Structure 1
Amino acid sequence: MPDFDLAQTLRLLTVSAIPLLLSIILHEVAHGLAARRLGDPTAGMLGRLTLNPLPHIDPLGLICFVLTSLWGGIVFGWAKPVPINPRFFRRPARDMMLVALAGPGCNFLLALLFALCTAGIALISPEFLLSFLFREAPQPSGVIMPFLAQMCLQGIIINICLAWFNLLPIPPLDGSRVVSYFLPMRAALSYGRLENYGFVILLVLLVSGVLNTVLEPLVRGSLDLLLSMILRPVL
């Protein structure tokens, strides 16, 4: 873990707070909206289709977000899952897969929106872009523009990390719902039983470094591709 710097830590937490809350809230709301579209009103009935963070925040998941952000590696965590009742679905297996994909899909879309905002800031304040691309470049003056730019960059990173993390095929993550859809019924039921051990599996993968090894190339590749596509026109 990098040397602890209180000022840097507070700065990182400050610029990460808004995109982090937006990312985890909209991820869960996307699940709920997709479920409602497919016939399940449960999330709306229980007040989970809201931007109020309180119904969505899982304390342990939020702590995990904060710690992994400070650690400097892959950022991940979780919110309280939106309640889904597959009995309302016409085609439960397919619809559960679509609902699961809505969350990571929302995060990829948010990453794109944050990247577009970053490009807009680069047009207004080119010195920020230079300071981001080249460490030896002069730092931009002012407070608001650098803060907004750093917040947007954190928004890109957080959402890409969250999307790929949730697409891991480990129950109860969203990726496991996709895998289940393509498995025979008996195999899908056996696979679903791993949900009881999902947290332990993730913890082992995190501590062993396997999680970072798997996710880092996906996150870095997505980040490089997105920034090159969005920022290239303004360079």
Structure 2
Amino acid sequence: MDFLNQILRVPLSQLPFFLITLLIAFTVHEFSHAYFANKFGDPTAKLLGRVTLNPAVHFDLLGVIMLLIAGFGWARPIPVNRDNFSKPRTMGVVVSIAGPLSNLLLGIFGAFIYVLLLRSGVIPHLAIDGNSKYTIAAHTFFGMFIYMNFFLFLFNLIPLPPLDGYRILEDIVPRRMLGKLQQFENWSIIIFLIILVVPALQRYTIAPLYDLAYLWSGNIISFFNMLLHSI
């Protein structure tokens, strides 16, 4: 147990909640890409059985392990053939942004359910029942679920490959610039990897996203609390 605590980025006591959150967040994210790609006329993902909410077809074991021990990871990417779209660039943007937006919506939905359960008494407040394992587990899970989904929304919009933000950038830049952008794609991947493994660089790139996700989590919970209080 001590060995696992030393190598994992997530405290061992929170690991089940972290894995459940990833199971939902990654599955819905990749399903959203596949769903819209298929709707727009590209059957690639459907033929591979990826237009589904079955997490088994979206999870990448190595990606999850890396996330646990290195702080970054991945799910199995959805293959998309933009040549099958009637409007490749416009539909490409929608398909790319569908994944991050699904995480944003999951975070908002999770916050609403959390506040609803708190106000209904299903989840006791920590100040009242802070020693109960059930109460601690419920607060830990919802806090992690909301926070992680907001973070995944922000993180995936970074305009560096292989993230969705880069695919969106490819589809919105003028065509005359597309060739130059693709020339630097390999360098962009290297830059992205350097950012992920150098703590000093994370402080100015990834860390602000964690802070913003945390801020959003508190604000959206407060918003729903005030909204439900006024009803």
TM-score category, normalised to shorter length:
0.7 to 0.9
1:66–1:232 Cα change, 3 Å: farther
Question: Could you tell me how far 1:181 is from its partner in structure 2?
Answer: 2.5
What is the aligned length?
219
Question: Could you tell me how far 1:138 is from its partner in structure 2?
Answer: 5.5
Q: TM-score scaled by structure 2?
A: 0.82
1:50–1:198 Cα change, 3 Å: farther
> In 1, distance between residues paired with 2:61 and 2:188?
18
Question: What residue in structure 2 maps to residue 31 of structure 1?
Answer: 33
Question: Could you tell me how far 1:155 is from its partner in structure 2?
Answer: 0.9
Unaligned runs of 5+ in 1: 70-75, 132-136
> In 2, distance between residues paired with 1:58 and 1:222?
28
CA contact 1:35–1:84 (8 Å) conserved in 2: yes
1:85–1:145 Cα change, 3 Å: same
Candidates 162, 165, 179, aligned match of 1:189 = 179
SS of the equivalent of 2:52 reads coil
Question: What residue in structure 2 maps to residue 121 of structure 1?
Answer: 117
> In 2, distance between residues paired with 1:21 and 1:98?
23
Question: What residue in structure 2 maps to residue 226 of structure 1?
Answer: 220
Question: What residue in structure 2 maps to residue 63 of structure 1?
Answer: 65
CA contact 1:121–1:149 (8 Å) conserved in 2: no
Deviation beyond 4 Å, 4+ runs, structure 1: none
Question: Could you tell me how far 1:145 is from its partner in structure 2?
Answer: 4.3
Question: Could you tell me how far 1:28 is from its partner in structure 2?
Answer: 0.5
SS of the equivalent of 1:163 reads helix
Q: Is 1:173 paired with 2:163?
A: yes
1:224–1:141 Cα change, 3 Å: closer
Deviations 1:25-79 (A, max 9, x none): 110000000111111111111011223333222234212332366xxxxxx5321
> In 1, distance between residues paired with 2:147 and 2:211?
13
Q: TM-score scaled by structure 1?
A: 0.81
Identity of aligned residues (%): 31
> In 1, distance between residues paired with 2:5 and 2:174?
51
Unaligned runs of 5+ in 2: none
Amino acid corresponding to residue 48 of structure 1 in structure 2 = R
Question: Could you tell me how far 1:87 is from its partner in structure 2?
Answer: 1.3
Question: What residue in structure 1 maps to residue 108 of structure 2?
Answer: 112
> In 1, distance between residues paired with 2:133 and 2:42?
45
Q: State the superposition RMSD in angstroms.
A: 2.6
CA contact 2:147–2:214 (8 Å) conserved in 1: no
SS of the equivalent of 1:119 reads helix
Q: Is 1:54 paired with 2:50?
A: no
> In 2, distance between residues paired with 1:178 and 1:10?
36
> In 2, distance between residues paired with 1:147 and 1:224?
18
Matches within 5 A, 1:138-177: 139-177=129-167
Amino acid corresponding to residue 150 of structure 1 in structure 2 = T
Deviations 1:84-105 (A, max 9, x none): 1111101111111110010011
> In 2, distance between residues paired with 1:115 and 1:165?
19
Deviations 1:160-192 (A, max 9, x none): 111101001112211112222231213123223
